[in-house]
Copies of this chain bind each other. A is one copy, B any other.
Amino acid sequence: MIRVAILGATGYTALELIKILLRHPEVKITALTTRQDGSPHVSSIHQSLTGRLDIRCEDLSPAQVTERADFVFCALPHVASMDVIPALLDGGCRVCDLSADYRLHDAAVYEKWYGHKHTDVDRLATTIYGLPELWSEKIPGQKLIANPGCYTSTSILALAPLLKGGWIEPTGIIIDAKSGVSGAGRTPKLNTLFSECNEGVSAYSVGYAHRHVPEIEQVLSDSSGRPVEIIFTPHLIPMDRGIIATCYGRLTKPATEAELLAAMREFYAGKPFIRVVNHLPSTKDSAHTNFCDITVRVARGQAIVIACLDNLIKGASGVAVQNFNLMCGFPETTALLP
């Protein structure tokens, strides 16, 4: 039985993580943290957990966490994560970091996009990016994994096969992505109020402006071996959860849908959470699951790849448990299927 701590237990990501881990036969949740006063019971923060988990959320130091836990899911904001992760690792914990702090290899890129100097540069350069469908063989031995962002996973899973196979040009790629509101977090803000979001769609961070852009480009470049350039436009959709990425890439040569689907199926052979489908998927099909549904169409020299996943599960907490399973030697699908 692995003793697990979750840092930053009040958000939606942590809630999903808890629900998944409650189904995991090899896990005992032994610590939850928050900076809120008074060590509130987890069920007072997440009413849906009433009667399911009897533990308080406490303001714990890294040292206290390492005493109680073997494995830490770090769901803290960026910067806060790199402030504690070195101590957690030094204390003997393995860590899956759900923040952006260890995703980019290059400290200068990190500083440019996140506005903070990186304080753990050596580790940054070597931490494995935890997208098991690309690098499942690199994850098992790791002490620290950088868990992917939700837009990032959707975009990369959509495009990696065709880029790797040389089917589409690596530049001029357009990713038009649409996300449910839970992706914006649980901190009260005007733009995520019900009455602001409901009955409305809008784009945000348009242009070369969203922090997931360098992450997507780095991973797709690493994966395909060529420098990839994208235009990424995120939209906020009046739904709770789900992301759909509609991606446009210029074909390098004439190709049929059947050929592209076959290439995708080959790329993802043996990957239990990728469903390459013939139909046009809805985000609803993969909601509340760890699946990612992908398909492709061809028109006028472009491949149009569409990928859907649940932003809180396959886009955050589900893939985190996938990484946990691989790091700890459990079957990859434990607690995630069926």
Residues of A in contact with B (beta carbons under 8 Å apart): 12, 22-23, 47-48, 50-52, 172, 174, 176, 178, 180-182, 186, 188-190, 192-204, 206-209, 229, 231, 233, 235, 237-242, 244, 246, 248, 250, 275, 277, 279-289, 291, 293, 297-300, 302, 304, 306, 308, 338
Given A199-B287, A201-B237, A231-B304, 18 additional A-B pairs, CB 8 A: A22-B338, A51-B275, A51-B291, A174-B302, A178-B235, A186-B190, A186-B193, A194-B197, A194-B240, A199-B242, A200-B284, A200-B285, A202-B283, A202-B308, A207-B298, A229-B300, A231-B300, A237-B238
A239 in contact with B300 (CB, 8 Å):
no
B239 in contact with A198 (CB, 8 Å):
yes
Most chain B CB within a 10 A radius of its CB, from A174, A190, A196: A196
B47 in contact with A246 (CB, 8 Å):
no
Report if A299-B239 is in contact (Cβ < 8 Å); known contacts: A174-B174, A193-B186.
no
B201 in contact with A178 (CB, 8 Å):
yes
In the bound complex, how far is the Cα of B289 from the Cα of A281, in angstroms? 25
Report if A48-B304 is in contact (Cβ < 8 Å); known contacts: A199-B239, A201-B178.
no
B283 in contact with A195 (CB, 8 Å):
no
Q: What residues of chain B lie closer than 8 Å to A23, measured between beta carbons?
A: 338
In the bound complex, how far is the Cα of B208 from the Cα of A190, in angstroms? 31
The listed residue (B172, B188, B229, B283) touching A193 by CB distance below 8 A is B188
B208 in contact with A194 (CB, 8 Å):
no
A48 in contact with B284 (CB, 8 Å):
yes
In the bound complex, how far is the Cα of B198 from the Cα of A288, in angstroms? 14
In the bound complex, how far is the Cα of B207 from the Cα of A300, in angstroms? 8
CB distance from A87 to the nearest CB of B (A): 30
The listed residue (B192, B196, B238) touching A239 by CB distance below 8 A is B238
A293 in contact with B202 (CB, 8 Å):
no
Q: What residues of chain B lie closer than 8 Å to A297, measured between beta carbons?
A: 206-207
Chain B residue with minimal CB distance to A202?
A: B282
CB distance from A182 to the nearest CB of B (A): 4
Most chain B CB within a 10 A radius of its CB, from A174, A190, A282, A306: A282
Report 7 cross-chain contacts, Cβ distance below 8 Å, ordered by A residue: A200-B283, A202-B280, A202-B282, A203-B246, A204-B280, A231-B299, A233-B246
CB distance from A281 to the nearest CB of B (A): 7
Q: What residues of chain B lie closer than 8 Å to A48, measured between beta carbons?
A: 284-287, 289
